[in-house]
Amino acid sequence: MSQKNSPLVESAHYFQRLFDASQDGILVLDFATGTIENANPFILKLLGFSREELIGKQLWEIGAILDKDAALAAFKVLKGHGYIRYNNLPLLSKAGEVIEVEFISNVYDLDHHPIIQCLIRDMAKQKAADLVLQEYRKDVCASFEEMSGAFSSLIEKRDSYTAGHQVRVAHLAAAIGGELKLAPHMIDGIRFAAKIHDIGKMAVPTEILTKPGALSTFEIAMLRNHAQAGFDVVKNMNFPWPVAQTILQHHERLDGSGYPNQLKDGEIIIEARVLAVADTVEAMSSRRPYRQTPGLEIALETIQAGKGVIFDAKVVDACIKVFREGFEFDPGFPQKSHEDEHL
C-alpha cells in the first residue's frame, strides 16, 4: 500500500482539517517548556498574531496571558495533574484588546511524547447568546404572566376566593422551589401552573364552590373533577413546562390516596409535589365561613405528619423552612369560599 493511501496518513490529514476548521482556538504546546508548537487559524485571528509570531514562543512571553506569575503557576499545576480549566481567563490580543476566554488544557501522549493541547473559546459569543436567552426568557415569562392573569380574572368573576388562593399558592410554591434549589426555568413553570391550578373549577357550579354547608357525596365528586377538567382545558396548549400534568396531579398523594388517578410516589412529577404542599398549607391557613381557620401552625403540623407518606419529604422540609425564615402570604386577596374542606 502506498503512503498516499495509508490509513495513518489519511487520519493525519483528517485531523489537520478539523484543527484548521475549528471555531475554537487550539494551541499545541511543548510539555517541558510550554513553547507553542502549533496554532490553528481561529486563535491566530482571535489574538491578531501571525503564525510566525506565535510558534516557538510562550503565551506569557508574548503577553497574551496578562498575569505571567499566575500563568507559570498554572503551567506547573497542568504538568502535575494533566488538566486545568479557566472559565473567564483574560487574554491580551496583539492590538491590546482584553478578550475573556474559556481556557481548557490537557496533557496527552503523541507517539509516546507528552504534549499539551489548549482549547480556547471566545466567551464574547457565549455572553451575547446568554443575553439573548435571558431576554427571551423574560419575554416568555411576561407573556405567560399576562395569560395567568387573564385566567385568574376569569375565575374571579365566578369565585373571588379561588383567584386569590391561586396567587397565594403560586407565591409559596415558588419560594419552596427556590429553597429546593430548582432551576429558575422550573420555578417559573411551577409559579405559572400554580396560578391556574384550579382553572378546572370553572366547570364546577358556583353554588357548590360557595356553599356554606357540607357537600353531598355527588357534590364532592363534582368538585374533585376539577383536576381532570383543568388538565383538559390546557392539555393542548404549548407551554415550555409540564403545566397540564402539574394541574392534573396536584391532588395526587405519594401513598396513592389522592385523585384523580391514585398515582404513587415516583409517578408524581416534582412540580405537582411542590404544588400539593403549597396548596394544602394555603387552604388550611385561609378563612372559611363554615369553620374556624386551622391556621398556619396546624397546616405545617399537618404536612409534617404526612411527610414521606402523602407529601414529598424534601418539599415538606423546604416549605417549613421558608416559613421559619419569614415567608408570609399576601393578605390582599379575599378568603371567603369553601371548596378545600373536601380535598
Where exactly are the structural domains of the chain?
Answer: 3-126, 158-342
Beta bridge partners of 86: 103
Q: Provide the pLDDT for residue 341.
A: 42
Say if residue 5's pLDDT is above 90: no
Q: Provide the pLDDT for residue 334.
A: 43
Ranges of beta strands (E only) in the chain are: 25-30, 36-39, 83-92, 98-110, 113-122
Say if residue 339's pLDDT is above 60: no
Query: Cα-flanking dihedrals φ and ψ of residue 238, to 5°?
Result: -90, 85
What separation in angstroms does the CA of 314 have from each of 13, 43, 196? 55, 48, 24
**Is the domain 3-126 a CATH 1.10.10.60 member?**
no
Average pLDDT, the chain: 85
Query: Per-residue pLDDT tens for 63-91?
Result: 677 677 777 888 888 888 888 888 888 88
Region 301-322 average pLDDT:
97
Q: Provide the pLDDT for residue 337.
A: 39
Distance CA 159, CA 157 (A): 6
Q: Provide the pLDDT for residue 111.
A: 74
Between 338 and 222, the higher pLDDT residue: 222
Q: Provide the pLDDT for residue 18.
A: 83
CATH number of the 158-342 domain: 1.10.3210.10
Query: Per-residue pLDDT tens for 149-204?
Result: 777 777 767 766 666 888 899 999 999 999 999 999 899 999 999 999 999 988 88
Q: Which residue has the cell 399576562?
A: 146
Taking each helix axis as running N to C, give the angle between helix 226-234 and helix 217-224, from 0 to 180 degrees, rounded to the nearest 10: 30
1: pLDDT confidence band, cut at 50, 70 and 90? very low
What global pTM score does this model have? 0.61
